[in-house]
A and B are shown apart, each in its own frame.
Chain A
Amino acid sequence: MNPGDRVRVERGDTTSEGVVMPSSTSDHIVLKLDGGYNIGIDREAASVEVLDTDVYDVGEAGEPDEEGVSEIEFGDDRPTISLISTGGTIASTVDYRTGAVTAQFTADDVLRAVPELAGRANYRGRVVANILSENMDPTIWQQLAAAVHEEIEAGADGVVVMHGTDTMQYSASVLAFMLDTPVPVVFTGSQRSADRPSSDNVMNAVCAVEAAKGDCAEVLVCMHADASDEHCALHRGTRVRKNHTSRRDAFETVGRSPLATIEYATAEADGADGEAADDAFEFTREYATRDTSDLALDDDLNPSVELVKFTPGMDTAAWDYLDDADGVIIEGTGLGHIHTDLIPRVEGLVENGTVVAMTSQCLEGRVCDRVYDTGRDLLDAGVVEAGDTLPGTAKVKLMWALANVDNPADAMGRSLAGELTEESQPWE
């Protein structure tokens, strides 16, 4: 008996007929009954008769085919948008017979999953990875950056990166440092898996494509602006953070309003035939416009950077493993502090050539180590203030700075890609 077989199972006085499903435990047979319900039957207590083999193919979802680039065109007058996937479930579909959920990634797969994308642009689909975003790592960032670069070089008028939400902010940040882009590079994903009718995938995907057709040539994150299906927010990639475990509007620009809001209904209607849906966008600030930057890629990274969060009572042994790091980002308290006893430890790291930069676990606000003694001692020890750079952004920035700029310590104190703002203005 194998998954996919049609069987008759007798257990006690009950006879059940259905198709065997893959089971997560060995002591139960999971049967899909004809009415659609799955039930688990105690394997030991049951007698099974196989009626038919391989009724459905319910094998594990395999790796996507190595098809490279797939293309779908709707007409010459439309912009070309490249859809790059790293494995987010923004485009997945359900096989109702088996209940299997599979992620779909070629351009036509994405279009099948999100038909609302049809006609808005000509698409080039491309798979960089098929991973859960918690498994993201620097080598995939490099592949992703290279893929985006190639797509823009090949003529894409904008790039949409479909990405898992867990680490989207890190990927968006690192691409902002690696790439100079003349076109928008828009990250999007969905908080609710795409197999649910209530998924946020359609609206996020449509708004992301419209943003990619738009004028803001930066690395951006496009996700729901609130719990309703009315507005998406456009966040600068280096200033965005996932601030909620599950809400649709989990992504926020820290310390400010988002760079823009997009009205979904307008974006959906105005962009449907390939036009740019400018009226749907409301920008709150200046941004880099299309074609002002020349395309460039600096994708070297030094992965030897640790982000360490200081908490009261922490075992200082946790700082021992930092010895070999080329860079350390401290997530300090308040204005940028750690326990006074740890300052000599930091001093040692800096003397050894490690770049040590300070951020704050407050997340909102900027580090200022000139106010209190502890801060001044930290500055004397050689710590760099990362201003209002977000801790996660500071980590990928230092990875990039160590590999690409002459004076990484100095670079941590100034803005390279909008990650460190000049002023913290109150906003409504």
Chain B
Amino acid sequence: MDIVDQLHVMRKLVIDGSNTSGFQRSMLLGQEGEIETSEGPVSVVDLLLEEESAQRVKEYDGGVRYSLDRLGIPLVEIGTGPDIRSPEQAKEAAERIGMLLRSTGTVKRGLGTIRQDVNVSIEAGARVEIKGVQALDQIDDIVRLEVGRQSELVDIADELQSRNASVGETQNVTGVFEDTDSGVIGGALDDGGRVTAVPLFGFDGLVGREIQPDRRLGTEFSDHAKRNGAGGIFHTDELPAYGVTDDEVSALRDAVDASEDDAVAIVATDPETADLAIEAVAERAKTAIEGVPEETRDATQEGTTRYLRPLPGAARMYPETDVPPVEPDPSEIDEPELLTEKVERYQTEFGLDSGLAEQVAYGRRMPLFEAAVDRGIDPTFAASVLESTVTELRRDDVPVENIADAHFLAVFDLVADDELAKEGVNDVLTVLAEQPDLSAEEAIEEAGLGGVDDEEVREIIAGVVERNADQVAEEGMGAFSGLMGECMGELRGKADGDTVSDILREEIGKRS
């Protein structure tokens, strides 16, 4: 990636209120990069550094309330070129970028910290921007389902064209439903609403055609009606139903001069909204004859998408005059070790197995792990505490998020100095999680693990052997593993396993 010689901060106008200044500060940092995927390179068109917007916390009649704590958090925006060819490559490219970002060790992690917008088009389709893709492993599904949607829409358009389909004038058809048993329509009329309709000539059977799982062309129409304030639409492909009778459907067709080959869509709500919504449906239906509309869509939980708004116009930008240009010096930046490289190094250099190596490298405590290893802590021990032990404790509802990095390092040091047995680490960390104000030494006391010397250990072990004298006499060293468990039960955390096992061996030896 080529870093720009001189960075210019720009103001990108944002008028939805999410930026208190009315603009978002943004700068172009790098251009013309590339990332590798197994299906070939993907170009990175640009890399921007900008400020995060404020978070919407509440919408009410008078406007929107924003919380300012998120405003101004640094945001890196990376734009890939339109040269990704398959759903799998999209996912892989996103994973690769995610890995690169996390390799810096300085990116924020957690919910909402990474957002992906996916642009998809197929031949004869159109560029569709899908916003709000939260999870990486959804990307391939989303791409696949969008490709499916677009090809269905292309098919529908071909069919409509061959039928010479057209969209008629929108009309008020309230009269048809004056005595309706439909709760939805009747309710709207009782509230002083009206029913508006648009005849869709040649659309019969196509409005109800599924284009994504559980989404039909009619659902697209409905999205547009909803954007204009309506609750949704009914169309003849799904009627009679919802309390609308066969007679009413026939009367509706008659009212708008529609035949059996045609479809009719209706909206029932307050007069103003009904007019706007039916116009929006008519517009969308006209586009259906032409093909796939360019638009911005919202990803759903299921991996399908719904209409959000038209594609954004070229953002209006002008210079941020409060901030002078900056001349970056990339030579001052050390390239971080990639996480993929870390995983390998952890295996070869530290002897971690591949699962643990990956867990540590990609985990949020990676910098802490490195710090621990740097001060001479055994890597396997550090890795298992930071990953397995912590996970274990969390499952036991220990508030592990309270344990600070300094706590971990102090515990590691105490183990390294033989002040704490490895077996006591769980208990000490539990105490630290519950009482984060304590030092590690205090936590050892609090956990009741302090002050057991070798003499006492020997006494306790001798006691265990004594109680099981018969078994020892009978089995000799064969009793070892059974007694080891009993000894550790009494000594957990007070003495490490190696010491216990040595002394136990000696004590059994004395008796057999």
Please judge, given known A-B contacts A37-B28, A96-B318, whether A197 and B8 are in contact too, CB under 8 Å.
no
The answer to whether B32 and A196 have CB atoms under 8 Å apart is no
The answer to whether A197 and B325 have CB atoms under 8 Å apart is no
The answer to whether A40 and B4 have CB atoms under 8 Å apart is yes
State which residues 185-207 of A face B: CB under 8 Å.
Answer: 195-199
What bracket does the count of chain B residues touching chain A fall in? 20 to 34
Find chain B residues with CB under 8 A from A96 CB: 316-318
Interface residue A26 (Cβ < 8 Å from any Cβ of B): no
Interface residue A289 (Cβ < 8 Å from any Cβ of B): no
CA distance A369 to B149 in the complex (A): 86
Please judge, given known A-B contacts A13-B32, A24-B325, A197-B13, whether A99 and B318 are in contact too, CB under 8 Å.
yes
The answer to whether B318 and A197 have CB atoms under 8 Å apart is no
Interface residue B7 (Cβ < 8 Å from any Cβ of A): yes
CA distance A94 to B319 in the complex (A): 10
Q: Pick the contact of A35 from B5, B6, B7, B314 — CB < 8 Å?
A: B314
The answer to whether B21 and A39 have CB atoms under 8 Å apart is no
Interface residue A41 (Cβ < 8 Å from any Cβ of B): yes
Find chain A residues with CB under 8 A from B349 CB: none
Nearest chain B CB to A201 CB, angstrom units: 12
Which of the listed residues A28, A35, A195 has the most CB atoms from chain B within 10 Å of its own CB? Answer: A35
Q: Pick the contact of A197 from B4, B21, B31, B321 — CB < 8 Å?
A: B21
Interface residue A36 (Cβ < 8 Å from any Cβ of B): yes
Which of the listed residues B21, B48, B314, B325 has the most CB atoms from chain A within 10 Å of its own CB? Answer: B325
The answer to whether B7 and A39 have CB atoms under 8 Å apart is yes
CA distance A37 to B5 in the complex (A): 14
The answer to whether B22 and A196 have CB atoms under 8 Å apart is yes
CA distance A141 to B8 in the complex (A): 38
Nearest chain A CB to B80 CB, angstrom units: 15
Find chain B residues with CB under 8 A from A410 CB: none
The answer to whether B2 and A38 have CB atoms under 8 Å apart is no
Which of the listed residues A24, A28, A95, A197 has the most CB atoms from chain B within 10 Å of its own CB? Answer: A197
The answer to whether B8 and A40 have CB atoms under 8 Å apart is yes
Interface residue B27 (Cβ < 8 Å from any Cβ of A): yes
Task: Fill in one digit per residue for A8-40: 1 if any B CB lies within 8 Å of its CB, else 0.
Answer: 000111101000000011001010010111111
Interface residue B164 (Cβ < 8 Å from any Cβ of A): no
Interface residue B120 (Cβ < 8 Å from any Cβ of A): no
The answer to whether B317 and A40 have CB atoms under 8 Å apart is no
Task: Fill in one digit per residue for B22-57: 1 if any A CB lies within 8 Å of its CB, else 0.
Answer: 110011100110000000000000101000000000
Interface size on A, residues (CB 8 A): 29
The answer to whether A11 and B23 have CB atoms under 8 Å apart is no
The answer to whether A36 and B22 have CB atoms under 8 Å apart is no
Interface residue B20 (Cβ < 8 Å from any Cβ of A): yes
Interface residue B15 (Cβ < 8 Å from any Cβ of A): yes
The answer to whether A30 and B8 have CB atoms under 8 Å apart is yes
CA distance A40 to B28 in the complex (A): 10
Query: Which A residue sits closest to B14, measured CB to CB?
Result: A197
State which residues 107-165 of B face A: CB under 8 Å.
Answer: none
The answer to whether B15 and A197 have CB atoms under 8 Å apart is yes
Query: Which A residue sits closest to B322, measured CB to CB?
Result: A193
CA distance A200 to B48 in the complex (A): 29
Query: Which B residue sits closest to A33, measured CB to CB?
Result: B28
Interface residue A101 (Cβ < 8 Å from any Cβ of B): yes
The answer to whether B318 and A195 have CB atoms under 8 Å apart is yes
Nearest chain A CB to B144 CB, angstrom units: 29
CA distance A13 to B12 in the complex (A): 28
Query: Which B residue sits closest to A38, measured CB to CB?
Result: B8
Nearest chain A CB to B14 CB, angstrom units: 8
Nearest chain B CB to A225 CB, angstrom units: 19
CA distance A115 to B78 in the complex (A): 38
Interface residue B327 (Cβ < 8 Å from any Cβ of A): yes
Please judge, given known A-B contacts A96-B317, A196-B21, A196-B23, whether A37 and B8 are in contact too, CB under 8 Å.
yes
Nearest chain A CB to B109 CB, angstrom units: 28
Q: Pick the contact of A40 from B21, B46, B321, B325 — CB < 8 Å?
A: B325
Interface residue B315 (Cβ < 8 Å from any Cβ of A): yes
Find chain B residues with CB under 8 A from A279 CB: none
Interface residue A42 (Cβ < 8 Å from any Cβ of B): yes
CA distance A198 to B31 in the complex (A): 31
Nearest chain B CB to A308 CB, angstrom units: 33
Q: Pick the contact of A36 from B4, B314, B325 — CB < 8 Å?
A: B314
Nearest chain A CB to B419 CB, angstrom units: 55
The answer to whether A41 and B21 have CB atoms under 8 Å apart is no
Closest 8 CB pairs of A and B: A40-B6, A197-B22, A36-B317, A38-B8, A99-B318, A37-B28, A198-B22, A14-B2
24 examples of A-B residue contacts, CB within 8 angstroms? A12-B2, A16-B31, A25-B325, A28-B5, A28-B6, A28-B325, A30-B8, A33-B28, A36-B315, A36-B317, A37-B27, A37-B46, A38-B10, A38-B28, A39-B8, A40-B8, A41-B5, A41-B6, A42-B5, A45-B5, A99-B318, A101-B321, A196-B22, A197-B23
| Residue positions of B touching A, CB distance < 8 A | 2, 4-8, 10-13, 15, 20-23, 26-28, 31-32, 46, 48, 314-319, 321, 325, 327
Q: A30-B325, A37-B10, A101-B321 are in contact. List 12 more A-B contacts (CB 8 A).
A: A11-B5, A24-B325, A25-B325, A28-B325, A35-B46, A36-B314, A37-B28, A37-B317, A39-B28, A96-B316, A196-B21, A197-B13
